[in-house]
Structures are given as structure tokens and as C-alpha cells.
Amino acid sequence: MTDDANAPWLIVGLGNPGPEYAANRHNVGFMVVDLLAERIGGKFKRAQKAQAQVVEGRMGAPGPANRRVILAKPMSYMNLSGGPVTALRDFYKVPTARVVAVHDELDIDYGVLRLKLGGGDNGHNGLKSMTKSMGAEYHRLRFGIGRPPGRMQVADFVLKDFSSTERKELDYFVDRAADAVECLVTEGLERAQSAYNS
């Protein structure tokens, strides 16, 4: 699929479905797209053609920078995200370069954001599944969660809720991540990187 100036953007929050995972570090992608849905005044509903929940709407000020967006939360588990995301990409005719994965990132400090296009999966099972399913040339918004303390296993760490200390700043960081996605979609990667890659 070629990049088309009028094509929509598909913004995917990566996470695990179910209330027991809702506040986990691994679900920060869901938190960011939930906030974006609130901002565009949409409610998630079940997608017709994919195992996912979606909201359709527009982002950006009225005029040439206004973009059609589909916000999505795959309802498969994290390590199977590729199937639902690829199905949504194909259904909505979204060029791969207009897909944005919002995900937790162990290798950056808590709350630090990094936007990029393409690259490796860095051991992240959601990205691994997406890349296997549709190639690596999609955008990522990496939301730093830091490394596990002491000898805690990575899997245990990402599936734990944010600590009480982290929660004090979580709303601020999620808000900033949502701003970064909006900037990427309406103003482009370079502008968003210079504003939000700390």
C-alpha cells in the first residue's frame, strides 16, 4: 500500500484485555488510546473485521492538518497483536507507515517518550507480533517504564500495576504521550520527535 495524503491513521494501543491487566505497566498503550478517544469524543466499540475495539474520528484543528484516525485496542493477548492490527490496517486501507503502535518500553526511564519509524522489536512481544504480520515500517511511540528492580523477572514487572510513586505522575505522562501522538499525526515525525523525544 502506498502512502496516500488522504489515507487515515491507525493508532494502536498495545495491552492485554481484561480488568485484571487494566492498570499494568504493559497496558500503558491502552491508557494512551483511551485518553485519545476521550479527546475526540468517541467510545470504543467492537470492530467488525478484527478482534479489536475501535473508535473512528478526526484529530487536529479544522483545515488541512485535520486527519481521519482509527484508534484501536487489540482484544487478543499482547503476543498476538499482529493479527488484529493487520486486519484493521487492511480493512481501513491504512498504509503501514500510518500505523502507530503505542507501547511500554523497558529500556527507557519511566515517563520518557521516544517516537520513531521502523526498527527492531527490542524483545517486546506486541511489536514482534506486529512486525511478523506486516513488516517493521510502522511508527512507534515508546513509553518508558524503566527496568525491573533487583532480581525481579521482566514478565512479572510488566504485568504488575504501576507503583504508588509512579501513579502520582502517570496521568501527566499519559497526557504527554497522547499529545505526542497528536503531534505526529498532524505535524509529522520530525516535529513530534523534536518536541517530545526527551
The 3-state DSSP class for residue 150 equals coil
H or E element that contains 69: strand 67-74
Please answer whether residues 1 and 91 qualify as being in contact, where contact means their C-beta atoms are separated by less than 8 angstroms: no
Distance CA 138, CA 153 (A): 29
- Active-site residue, selected from the candidate residues 26, 103, 124, 139: 26
Distance CA 126, CA 123 (A): 9
> What CA–CA distances, in Å, run from 3 to 14, 24, 81, 125, 173?
23, 34, 23, 26, 30
26 is catalytic: yes
Distance CA 101, CA 108 (A): 16
Torsion of CA 20, 27, 18, 135, to 10 degrees: -140
Q: Which amino acid is at 134?
A: M
The residues assigned a catalytic role are 26
